[in-house]
Amino acid sequence: MKYRGDHTQKFYQSREWRAFRARMLPRLRPHGCAYCRRPFEPGERHLQLDHIQPLKENWARRLDPSNVRLLHIGCHTERTHRPDRRRPVNNDGLPDDWV
Ligand SMILES: [Zn+2]
Protein backbone atom coordinates (compact mmCIF):
# COMPACT_ATOMS: atom_id res chain seq x y z
CA MET A 1 0.00 0.00 0.00
CA LYS A 2 1.33 3.38 -0.93
CA TYR A 3 1.50 5.73 2.01
CA ARG A 4 2.49 9.02 0.41
CA GLY A 5 2.19 10.31 -3.09
CA ASP A 6 5.20 11.88 -4.76
CA HIS A 7 4.04 15.43 -4.29
CA THR A 8 3.54 14.97 -0.57
CA GLN A 9 7.00 13.47 -0.27
CA LYS A 10 8.43 16.50 -2.02
CA PHE A 11 6.41 18.75 0.21
CA TYR A 12 8.06 17.32 3.35
CA GLN A 13 11.43 18.27 1.92
CA SER A 14 10.36 21.74 0.90
CA ARG A 15 11.56 24.99 2.37
CA GLU A 16 8.01 26.11 3.18
CA TRP A 17 7.37 23.00 5.28
CA ARG A 18 10.69 23.32 7.10
CA ALA A 19 10.01 26.97 7.87
CA PHE A 20 6.50 26.12 9.03
CA ARG A 21 7.83 23.31 11.22
CA ALA A 22 10.46 25.58 12.76
CA ARG A 23 7.71 28.07 13.59
CA MET A 24 5.30 25.53 15.03
CA LEU A 25 7.70 23.48 17.13
CA PRO A 26 8.27 26.03 19.92
CA ARG A 27 4.53 26.72 20.04
CA LEU A 28 3.44 23.11 20.37
CA ARG A 29 6.32 21.76 22.39
CA PRO A 30 5.15 23.03 25.80
CA HIS A 31 1.88 21.10 25.38
CA GLY A 32 3.63 17.75 25.17
CA CYS A 33 2.82 14.80 22.96
CA ALA A 34 -0.67 14.87 21.47
CA TYR A 35 -0.84 11.08 21.58
CA CYS A 36 0.52 9.92 24.94
CA ARG A 37 0.13 13.33 26.65
CA ARG A 38 3.55 13.09 28.24
CA PRO A 39 5.70 16.22 28.26
CA PHE A 40 8.75 16.22 26.03
CA GLU A 41 12.14 15.89 27.67
CA PRO A 42 14.19 19.11 27.56
CA GLY A 43 16.64 17.67 25.03
CA GLU A 44 14.08 15.55 23.20
CA ARG A 45 14.79 15.74 19.50
CA HIS A 46 12.69 12.89 18.22
CA LEU A 47 9.59 14.91 17.56
CA GLN A 48 7.19 14.56 14.70
CA LEU A 49 4.97 17.35 13.47
CA ASP A 50 1.94 15.44 12.27
CA HIS A 51 -0.96 16.50 10.08
CA ILE A 52 -4.30 15.88 11.77
CA GLN A 53 -6.09 15.76 8.46
CA PRO A 54 -3.70 13.97 6.11
CA LEU A 55 -2.31 15.82 3.11
CA LYS A 56 -3.86 13.40 0.70
CA GLU A 57 -7.27 14.23 2.11
CA ASN A 58 -6.85 17.97 2.28
CA TRP A 59 -3.84 19.41 0.52
CA ALA A 60 -5.03 22.96 1.20
CA ARG A 61 -4.43 22.54 4.93
CA ARG A 62 -0.79 21.50 4.62
CA LEU A 63 0.43 24.72 6.29
CA ASP A 64 -2.56 25.31 8.52
CA PRO A 65 -1.42 25.72 12.15
CA SER A 66 -4.69 24.20 13.37
CA ASN A 67 -4.06 21.06 11.34
CA VAL A 68 -0.84 19.96 12.99
CA ARG A 69 0.14 18.44 16.31
CA LEU A 70 3.39 17.33 17.84
CA LEU A 71 4.08 13.71 18.66
CA HIS A 72 6.98 11.55 19.78
CA ILE A 73 8.28 9.74 16.73
CA GLY A 74 7.42 6.44 18.42
CA CYS A 75 3.87 7.63 19.08
CA HIS A 76 3.54 8.79 15.50
CA THR A 77 4.58 5.38 14.26
CA GLU A 78 2.08 3.72 16.55
CA ARG A 79 -0.69 6.00 15.38
CA THR A 80 0.17 5.54 11.72
CA HIS A 81 -0.12 1.81 11.99
CA ARG A 82 -3.38 1.78 13.87
CA PRO A 83 -6.01 0.07 11.79
CA ASP A 84 -8.58 2.69 12.78
CA ARG A 85 -6.54 5.76 11.91
CA ARG A 86 -8.95 6.79 9.20
CA ARG A 87 -11.80 7.30 11.62
CA PRO A 88 -13.35 10.72 11.91
CA VAL A 89 -11.67 12.85 14.54
CA ASN A 90 -13.26 14.83 17.34
CA ASN A 91 -12.66 18.49 18.18
CA ASP A 92 -9.22 17.87 19.60
CA GLY A 93 -8.24 16.37 16.30
CA LEU A 94 -7.98 13.01 18.00
CA PRO A 95 -9.99 9.90 17.31
CA ASP A 96 -12.60 9.36 20.03
CA ASP A 97 -10.73 6.44 21.55
CA TRP A 98 -7.35 8.09 21.80
CA VAL A 99 -7.58 9.27 25.37
ZN1 LIG B 1 4.12 10.44 22.85
Distance 41 CA to ligand 1 centre (A): 11
Is the pLDDT at 98 greater than 70, yes or no? no
Q: How many angstroms separate the alpha carbon of residue 48 from the centre of ligand 1? A: 10
User: pLDDT tens digit string along 57-90?
Assistant: 999 999 999 999 999 999 988 877 766 555 555 5
When pLDDT is averaged across residues 28-51 and rounded to a whole number, the result is 92
Q: Which of 43, 45, 24, 41 lies closest to 32 in space, CA to CA?
A: 41
C-alpha–C-alpha distance, residues 99 and 89, integer Å? 12
User: Distance from the CA of 99 to the center of ligand 1, in angstroms?
Assistant: 12
Give the separation between CA 59 and CA 8, rounded to whole angstroms: 9
Q: What is the pLDDT, as a whole number, of residue 78?
A: 80
* Mean of the per-residue pLDDT values of the chain: 83
Q: Rounded to 10 degrees, what is the CA torsion of 52, 5, 72, 65?
A: -40
Rg (CA), the chain: 13
Contact (Cβ atoms closer than 8 angstroms) between residue 81 and residue 40: no
Phi, psi of 59 (to 5 degrees): -60, -30
Q: How many angstroms is it from 11 CA to the middle of ligand 1?
A: 24
Residues with CB under 5 A from ligand 1 (ion): 33, 35-36, 72, 75
Q: Which of 16-20, 41-45, 90-94 has the highest mean pLDDT?
A: 16-20
Please give the distance, rounded to the nearest whole angstrom, from the Cα atom of residue 78 to the centre of ligand 1.
Answer: 9
